[in-house]
Amino acid sequence: MNAYVVTMRRYGDREKHSYVIGVFSTKQSAIIAGGIEEMYRADKYKADIEKFKINEMPEIVKDE
Residue 29 identity (one-letter amino acid) = S
Tell me the whole-structure pTM to 2 decimals.
0.82
Return d(Cα 51, Cα 10) in angstroms, integer: 20
List own/partner pairs for 26-30 with CB under 8 A and 24 or more apart. Answer: 27/2, 27/51, 29/4, 30/4, 30/5, 30/6
Quickly count: other Cβ atoms within 10 Å of residue 32's Cβ: 14
**What is the pLDDT tens value at each position of the chain, 64 positions in all?**
999 999 999 998 988 899 999 999 999 999 999 999 999 999 999 999 999 999 887 676 554 4
Residue 17 DSSP one-character state = -
Output the pLDDT for position 41: 95
In this prediction, residue 56 carries a pLDDT of 83
In the prediction, which pLDDT does 29 show?
A: 97
